[in-house]
Homo-oligomer: A and B are copies of this chain.
Amino acid sequence: MHTDLVAALDIGGTKIAGALVDRQGRILVRAQRPTPAQENGETVMRAVEAVLGELAASPLWQRAGAVGIGSAGPVDASAGTVSPVNVPGWRGYPLVSRVRDAAGGLPVELIGDGVAITAAEHWQGAARGHDNALCMVVSTGVGGGLVLGGRLHPGPTGNAGHIGHISVDLDGDLCPCGSRGCVERIASGPNIARRALDDGWRPGPNGDASAAAVASAARAGDPVAVASFERAARALAAGIAATATLVEIDIAVIGGGVGKAGEVLFAPLRKALTEYATLSFVRRLAVAPARMGTDAGLVGAAAAALAGRTDTAVAGV
C-alpha cells in the first residue's frame, strides 16, 4: 500500500488537534477535541482516541504511514512518555504506546511542542533555509526548539530548546518551575501584564488587562506599557544571545501571542540583542516573527513523523 501521508497530533492543555498531512505539509483532514485537562489520565486518552478515530474514519487514513505527536512538555521521547504541566492526570504517561495501539500499530514519533513549532518554521516558515535556528513561542508560557547543522535538534528526550526556563537573572523572582529569573518569568504574556499593572498601568474601559492590551497601550505611547515590553525584550535578548553563544544560531524566530505584538516588542529586542550578543560570531544574529499560524504544531508533528519514517525525505528536517 502506498503510504504518502502521516497523521499528526498537537496535544496541549486546551485542545487536542489532529490531522492527516501530506508530504508537502498540506492538511487534508482535521479533527479536534477539547482537552479534559483536569480529568484522569484515561479520560484525556479517550479524547486523543476520539481524534484519531475521526481521522481513521476518513478514506485517506489508509495512506497514513506514521503518526507524529507534538505534546505540551515535558516529554520523554526516549521512554515514549509525557508529563504535561497542565495535564496533571498524565505523569510519565505512556502516550507513544497508547497512540500506537490506537493507530493500528503505525510507528509513532514524539517531540515536545516547542520542537514541533520549530520543525514547522524550519520546513515552511521563517526559519526555512537556515541551518542553525532558534524558534520560540512567547505566549502564556515561553517555549522553543532548535535547528542545528540543518537538522531539528530535539535532544535525547525531545525537550531541547526550552529557552523559557533558562535563568537570565540568577537572583531574580522565583519561577513556578522552581528556578529564578527564568526568561518566561519575565517575558511571558501574563508577566508582561502583571508588571505593567504593578507599575501603575490601568486597563481601558473594556477591562482588558492582557499582554495584548498592554501592547496596544505601548503603541499609543503609555510609558509604563512601553517599559514592560522593554523588560520582556531584554530577557528575551539575553536568552537568545545565550543560545547563540552556546550553539551558534543565525536566526531567532518568535511566534505566539506576544510575538504578534510587532515593533513594540521587536524594536527593543533588536536593541537589547546588540547589548547581549557581543562576541564576533553572534553579532549578525537576526530576529524575525514566526510565519506559521495556528497549524504550526500539527505541521511540525507531521514533519517529525515524515523525518522519522524516511530519515531524509523532508527538506531540511
Contacts and interface: CB of A to CB of B under 8 A. Distances in A.
Interface string A235-270: 100100111011110100000000000000000000
A234 interface: yes
Contact of A161 (B161, B170, B246): B246
A246 B169 contact: no
Nearest to A83: B280
A219 interface: no
A179 interface: yes
Interface centre among A132, A157, A250, A281 (most CB of B within 10 A): A281
A290 B48 CA distance: 47
A199 to B, nearest CB: 16
A139 interface: no
Nearest to A134: B246
A163 B148 CA distance: 17
A281 to B, nearest CB: 5
Contact of A166 (B161, B169, B246): B246
Given A146-B247, A159-B281, A246-B146, A275 B238 contact: no
Nearest to A237: B170
Contact of A279 (B132, B159, B169, B181): B159
A280 B245 CA distance: 24
Nearest to A235: B170
A171 interface: yes
A181 B278 CA distance: 13
Contact of A74 (B169, B178, B281): B281
Contacts of A195: none
A167 B157 CA distance: 26
A234 B177 CA distance: 17
B179 A275 contact: yes
27 contacts: A74-B280, A76-B281, A132-B156, A146-B247, A148-B148, A153-B247, A155-B247, A155-B248, A155-B281, A160-B246, A160-B247, A161-B247, A162-B245, A163-B246, A165-B245, A166-B246, A167-B241, A167-B276, A169-B170, A170-B235, A178-B275, A179-B241, A179-B275, A179-B276, A242-B242, A246-B246, A247-B247
Interface residues of A, number: 48
Nearest to A169: B170
A242 B164 CA distance: 10
A49 interface: no
A178 B114 CA distance: 31
Interface in A166-205: 166-171, 175, 177-181
Interface in A265-317: 275-281
Question: Lowest 3 CB-CB distances: which A-B pairs, in order?
Answer: A155-B248, A166-B242, A178-B278
Contacts of A241: 166-167, 179
Contacts of A245: 162-163, 165-166
Contacts of A148: 148, 153
